[in-house]
């Protein structure tokens, strides 16, 4: 009996949801970083968002492992997720050390990488048309 490892058309997978949550959490971090400059509540929100972002990164690793395990597919998504967790760890350390010169560019890089990963997992190949126009 064959095991189906692809998602049905129109349904989100655990990996897609995990990357979307991670991307949303990083975007929230960017917004609250701006609030740090103008509001006393900014630090509380940014700190809480950092915890959510780190948890979302761990969830992404778990989702990648669970997606790889049943189908025996490529382990590359696990490497991406693990690399992102390492970046998130460095980001947390830089934030605690109050190193904005490194913390801010790394945050921008992480957001870009997360958006790219999200776009990659959400994109689907369009079926080729049998009757091409000349």
pLDDT score, position 126: 39
Q: How far is CA 91 from CA 3, 29, 38, 58, 87, in A?
A: 39, 11, 22, 14, 6
- The Cα 124–Cα 67 span in angstroms is 17
The pLDDT of residue 65 is 92
| d(C-alpha 80, C-alpha 22), whole Å | 13
- pLDDT digits over 29-86, tens only? 999 998 988 888 889 999 999 999 999 999 999 999 988 877 666 788 899 999 999 9
Q: What is the pTM of this model?
A: 0.80
CB 70 within 8 A of CB 3: yes
Tens digit of pLDDT for each residue in 75-133? 888 999 999 999 999 999 999 999 999 999 999 999 999 999 999 988 854 344 455 55
Binned at pLDDT 50, 70 and 90, residue 2 comes out as: very low
């Amino acid at each position: 009996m064959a095991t189906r490892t692809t998602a049905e058309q129109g349904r989100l997978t655990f990996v897609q949801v995990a990357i979307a949550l991670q991307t949303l959490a990083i975007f929230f971090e960017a917004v609250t970083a701006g609030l740090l400059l103008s509001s006393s509540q900014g630090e509380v929100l940014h700190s809480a968002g950092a915890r959510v972002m780190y948890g979302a990164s761990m969830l992404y690793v778990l989702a990648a492992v669970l997606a790889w395990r049943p189908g025996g597919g490529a382990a590359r998504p696990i490497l991406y997720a693990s690399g992102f967790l390492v970046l998130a760890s460095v980001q947390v350390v830089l934030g605690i050390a109050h190193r904005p010169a490194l913390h801010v560019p790394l945050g921008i890089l992480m957001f870009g990488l997360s958006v790219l990963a999200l776009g990659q997992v959400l994109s689907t190949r369009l079926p080729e048309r049998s009757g091409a126009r000349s």
